[in-house]
Amino acid sequence: MTQTRLDLARIRQARHVVDPVFLNTPLYRCEALEPVLGCAVSIKLETANPVRSFKGRGTELVASLLAGSAAPAAVCASAGNLGQALAWSGRTRGIDITVVAPRRAARVKLDRIRSLGARLELVDGDHEVARERAAAIARHEGIRLVEDSLDIETCEGAATIGLELVRSTPTFDTVLIALGGGALATGVGHVVRALAPGMEVVCVQPHGAPAMTLSWHARRVITTDSADTIADGVAGRRPIPAVLDDLLLVADDAVLVQEASITAGMRLLLDHAGLVVEPSAALGIAAILEDRDRFAGRHIVTIVCGSNIDMDAYRRLVGTSGVRI
The answer to whether 25 contacts its own copies (rule: CB under 8 A) is yes
Nearest approach in angstroms of CB 24 to its own copies is 6
Q: Could you give the 3-state DSSP secondary structure of residue 48?
A: coil
Nearest approach in angstroms of CB 115 to its own copies is 7
| Edge-to-edge strand list for the sheet holding 119-123 | 119-123, 96-102, 73-77, 144-146
Among the residue ranges 20-28, 99-107, 155-163, 213-221, the one whose residues contact its own copies (CB under 8 A): 20-28
| Cα 261 from Cα 264, distance rounded (Å) | 5
Among the residue ranges 125-133, 196-204, 240-248, 301-309, the one whose residues contact its own copies (CB under 8 A): 301-309
The answer to whether 315 contacts its own copies (rule: CB under 8 A) is yes
Q: Which of 169, 163, 213 is nearest to 190 (CA)?
A: 163
Look up residue 200 and give its amino acid.
Answer: E
Q: Within 13 Å and on the Cβ side, how many CA atoms surround 172?
A: 29
The answer to whether 296 contacts its own copies (rule: CB under 8 A) is no
The answer to whether 50 contacts its own copies (rule: CB under 8 A) is yes
Our CB check for its own copies shows the closer of 48 and 136 to be 48
C-beta of residue 56 within 8 angstroms of C-beta of residue 89: yes
The answer to whether 170 contacts its own copies (rule: CB under 8 A) is no
The answer to whether 321 contacts its own copies (rule: CB under 8 A) is yes
Q: Which of 13, 26, 218, 223 binds its own copies (CB under 8 A)?
A: 26
DSSP bridge pairs for 223 = none
Q: Which of 1, 99, 106 is nearest to 52 (CA)?
A: 106
Q: Which of 73, 112, 119, 41 is nearest to 298 (CA)?
A: 41
Our CB check for its own copies shows the closer of 78 and 307 to be 307
Number of residues that bind its own copies (CB under 8 A): 34
Nearest approach in angstroms of CB 174 to its own copies is 20
**What x/- string results for residues 256 through 295 when contact with its own copies is judged by CB under 8 A?**
--------------xx--xxx-------------------
The contacts of residue 125 (CB under 8 Å, 6+ apart) are 102
Our CB check for its own copies shows the closer of 222 and 269 to be 269
Our CB check for its own copies shows the closer of 51 and 155 to be 51
Nearest approach in angstroms of CB 182 to its own copies is 25
| Cα 228 from Cα 181, distance rounded (Å) | 15
Nearest approach in angstroms of CB 83 to its own copies is 15
Q: Which of 49, 89, 160, 186 binds its own copies (CB under 8 A)?
A: 49
Q: Which of 104, 94, 54, 51 is nearest to 74 (CA)?
A: 94
DSSP bridge pairs for 176 = 202, 302
Alpha helices in 170-238 (DSSP H): 183-195, 211-218
| Cα 211 from Cα 222, distance rounded (Å) | 6
Nearest approach in angstroms of CB 184 to its own copies is 19
The answer to whether 171 contacts its own copies (rule: CB under 8 A) is no
Look up residue 27 and give its amino acid.
Answer: L
Q: Could you give the 3-state DSSP secondary structure of residue 3?
A: coil
Tell which positions 62-121 bind its own copies, by CB under 8 A. 112, 115-116
Nearest approach in angstroms of CB 48 to its own copies is 4
Q: By CB under 8 A, name the binding residues for its own copies.
A: 21, 24-32, 43, 45, 47-50, 52, 112, 115-116, 270-271, 274-276, 307-309, 311-312, 315, 320-322
